[in-house]
Chains A and B, each alone.
Chain A
Amino acid sequence: MDRRARRGVRAPFQKGNHPMRSRLLATLLAAAVGVTAAGCGGDDSGAKDDKPLGAGTKVSITVGCMPAKSQPAQRKEWEEDVAAFQKLHPNITVVGKDAFPCMDPNTFQAKLAGGQVEDVYYVYFTDVRGIIANGQAADITPYLGAAKQYPNLDPNVEKVFKDGDKVYGLPRQNYAMGLFYNRALFKKAGLNPDAPPKTWAEVRDAAKKISALGGGTVGYADMSAKNQGGWHFTTEIFSQGGEMVSADGKKSAFNSPQGKAVLQTLKDMRWTDNSMGSKQLLVDADIQRMMAAGKLGMYLGAPDNATALVDQFKAKYDDFGMAPIPGSTGTLMGGDGWLFSPKASPEKIKAGLMWLDFYGITPGQGQLNYARAKANGRPVGLPQPKLFGPNAVGAKDRELRAASANLPVGNFKPYEDAYNTVPGKLEPPQAQQLYAVLDSVMSAVLTRQDADIDRLLADAQKKADAALARSGS
């Protein structure tokens, strides 16, 4: 009997036991609806507003993603940065809001509806397009003069926060997906950890050798649940030179030779080589756990996976390395950043941009103060973020990071060396819907030996095209 039925048995004595037991979800939905007050954020006229925030104009802004108390070093640094910023701008008060994770899709809409979303709020790249399309972020284009470093940002990164000519936010962290691998297992399997696989054929060979170690060791792992399978399929099709959607974004484009190659490679590794283990429907936490336990050779990921493995699973940085995406034909760009509440006033937007300029995108300051991070015992040297283009500011940021590096940066050299040569691509429109559709394809290939790749892709194409048509992309 289901747990909800267990609750239901009290029904004869409680009036609440009627069909509306779905009220848990209904409550969540309704909580997200509550307030529908008209937005008044920004300046709809789109006229440039270069006027700096007056020193006499008192502004208080709330900012998301303040480091949690469980991260004492980062929290201390944040508080120092807020104090320094407020000393520079006594008229601005920065009120940090901590949450872990920084954005929870389950509560974001409810916070927005209840007027609880921060003036400067945190988002993943994946969600930016959808949020902008829904009118849930303020247009900050007229006030960009308040962020002095903005012109130095890498245009490929800033593109994530743009819709046409309008700008809606700034990046915090960014990365290009690459091949994350276990150097210790490479050594054990007789592979050279300084010469990681460059092609999918080499990945397949290496995976075979690693899985041959036995004892439940998996050569290569991939995700196939909670939309993460679709996310990885996207990365892999880019690596094969394919596309997710047509140029106008109206049709899917993954039912292609490249899409088939992605699935065929996975199918071969899973069923012919038996190098992907028997447990599937994995999500990122499962894969990280396997990697930290020394039971996994390779997976696709970002450099900051190393930090997660060390912080959460007590692994060692020395054991991991990163290579560019196999094939190096293209890769998925990922990361996170900040958008502005659609209800934020022009003054709040200006103050928010000044804060982000100070904290987020000025080399040597805030999150890019590597010397302080090193002094506080935090890891420095991962090739992430890469916020700036090939300009003097970017060079300065790289120099400062290298000067304070305390990690085995050589382990990430193959990835960093290729960073500018592998084209980074953005996530497709309606990313979550497409990922959900492709989860099904990934799980089929990884759990069913007789999976028919052509049929799976054809079915997925129909579903994806329907989703894109519904959204009017």
Chain B
Amino acid sequence: MTTLRPAARPAGRRTGRPAGRRTGRTRFRRAAQRNLTAYGFLCGALICFAFFSWYPMVREVLLSFQKTNFVGAARWVGFDNFRTVLADPVFTDAWANTAMFTLLALLIGYVVPFCAAIVLNELRHARGYLRFVVYLPVMLPPAAAVLLFKWFYDPGPGLFNQVLKAVRLPTLAWLDSTDTSLLSLVIVSTWMNLGSGTLIYLAALQTIPGELYEAAELDGAGLLRRIRHITIPQTRLILLVMLLLQIIATMQVFIEPYLLTGGGPEDSTVTVAYLMYQYAFNFNNFGGGGALGLMLMLVLMVFSAIYLRVSREDAR
């Protein structure tokens, strides 16, 4: 191929622009013809993203600077919608709750699937069955899973308090207490999504060469040292990517407070996404909802930028 290159290189490249332009156009045409099918497929995806993802985002940004009743023309109101939501006393609660939910979700929801994956990876028997069992909750529709937990958390006949009573431990108010309501939502969220996280970690664990473990074992390394010196370094990138994705996802928590607590008790489970919903659909203030959405989007963009950078590094 290299021997052909000089001959294939256009003469005009050295001699003048017109030939170069012509050659460029020819190349472009050839490339376009070669990739026509690919562009066709790309168009479908682009149209879908444009309509269902980018357009709503642009509209949301515009909406956050407008007041509209969806009947007449929307009115530009500058930063009024932002001032409105910033002056709302629940605004700071919502961000604090969201941050706390994210933190708890990282402490619980991030560690548990990784540990489950390590255990599953170490098992020699009933692997397929256990993987199925771990993945099972993911197959439940989110609303069904959340409502199942509504019964689990019932302070009276609920499953959790019955178990606590059976082992002679004090019962908890779960969703009905400001001390435990947010944690209760994190538990639901973790349970619902344990399966997919575990499977991803498991896939990552299985890419680690077995020789590394064998060598470590020969050197007398125990389980914890093997995890610390082999498993974690070898899965560092996937762990980082999952961490960022989890932050991005959990900051948008909505369905759990919506279905389980309605933001209560005492606004202790009002999250930013839930407040956004309240503004838009209960208070009929779409501008306020849009402003909140834009703020959340900007915060998440920071994490997304880090994620993109990390995933690019990973690809390299």
Which listed segment binds A: B28-36, B220-228, B286-294?
Answer: B286-294
Q: Is the CB of A136 within 8 A of B69?
A: yes
Q: Is the CB of B71 within 8 A of A12?
A: no
Chain A hits for B177, CB < 8 A: 447-448
Most A C-beta atoms less than 10 A away, residue of B63, B69, B89: B69
Q: Is the CB of B69 within 8 A of A134?
A: yes
Given contacts A36-B68, A109-B286, is CB(A225)–CB(B264) below 8 Å? yes
Instruction: Please give the distance in Å from A106's CB to the nearest CB on chain B.
Output: 5
Complex-state Cα separation, A20 to B297, whole angstroms: 6
Complex-state Cα separation, A38 to B74, whole angstroms: 10
Task: Tell me which of A26, A35, A279, A467 contacts B176 (CB under 8 A).
Answer: A279
Chain B hits for A357, CB < 8 A: none
Task: Tell me which of A12, A105, A131, A462 contacts B311 (CB under 8 A).
Answer: A12
Q: Which residue of B lies closest to A436 (CB)?
A: B278
Which listed segment binds A: B13-21, B122-130, B248-256?
Answer: B248-256
A391 proximal to B (CB < 8 A): no
Q: Which residue of A lies closest to B192 (CB)?
A: A3
B138 proximal to A (CB < 8 A): yes
Q: Is the CB of B283 within 8 A of A1?
A: no
Q: Which residue of A lies closest to B195 (CB)?
A: A6
Chain A hits for B55, CB < 8 A: 30
Interface of chain B, main secondary structure: helix
Complex-state Cα separation, A242 to B86, whole angstroms: 31
Q: Is the CB of A1 within 8 A of B246?
A: yes
B190 proximal to A (CB < 8 A): yes
Q: Is the CB of A281 within 8 A of B175?
A: yes
Q: Is the CB of A4 within 8 A of B89?
A: no
Q: Is the CB of A18 within 8 A of B308?
A: yes
Q: Is the CB of A11 within 8 A of B311?
A: yes
Chain A hits for B105, CB < 8 A: 1-2
Complex-state Cα separation, A242 to B142, whole angstroms: 42
Complex-state Cα separation, A229 to B282, whole angstroms: 14
Q: Is the CB of A436 within 8 A of B87?
A: no
Given contacts A6-B138, A134-B284, A225-B262, is CB(A29)–CB(B109) below 8 Å? no
Task: Tell me which of B72, B176, B196 contacts A280 (CB under 8 A).
Answer: B176
Complex-state Cα separation, A35 to B71, whole angstroms: 8
Chain A hits for B155, CB < 8 A: 278-279
Q: Is the CB of B265 within 8 A of A22?
A: no
Chain B hits for A19, CB < 8 A: 248, 297, 300-301, 303-304
Task: Tell me which of B70, B113, B195, B252 contacts A113 (CB under 8 A).
Answer: B70
Chain A hits for B282, CB < 8 A: 105, 227, 432, 436
Complex-state Cα separation, A112 to B70, whole angstroms: 6
Complex-state Cα separation, A459 to B90, whole angstroms: 11
Q: Which residue of A lies closest to B64 (CB)?
A: A29
Complex-state Cα separation, A342 to B70, whole angstroms: 10
Q: What string of 1s and 0s marks CB contacts (under 8 Å) between A178-216 and chain B?
A: 000000000000000000000000000000000000001
Q: What string of 1s and 0s marks CB contacts (under 8 Å) between A446-460 and chain B?
A: 111000000000010
Q: Is the CB of A27 within 8 A of B56?
A: yes
A224 proximal to B (CB < 8 A): yes
A253 proximal to B (CB < 8 A): no
B276 proximal to A (CB < 8 A): yes
Chain B hits for A6, CB < 8 A: 138, 193, 195-197, 249
Q: Could you tell me which residues of chain A, from 12 to 32, have a CB within 8 Å of some CB in chain B?
A: 12, 15-23, 25-32
Instruction: Please give the distance in Å from B237's CB to the nearest CB on chain A.
Output: 10
Kindly list the 3 A-B residue pairs having the minimum CB-CB distance in the complex, ordered from nearest: A225-B262, A19-B300, A5-B249
Give me 8 A-to-B residue pairs in the complex whose CB atoms sit less than 8 angstroms apart, sorted by A's number.
A3-B138, A9-B245, A19-B303, A134-B71, A224-B265, A430-B283, A439-B264, A466-B87
Q: Given A8-B246, A22-B276, 19 more contacts at CB 8 Å?
A: A1-B193, A1-B196, A5-B197, A5-B249, A8-B249, A9-B200, A11-B241, A22-B300, A29-B290, A30-B57, A33-B286, A134-B284, A136-B71, A224-B264, A281-B175, A342-B71, A436-B90, A436-B283, A448-B266
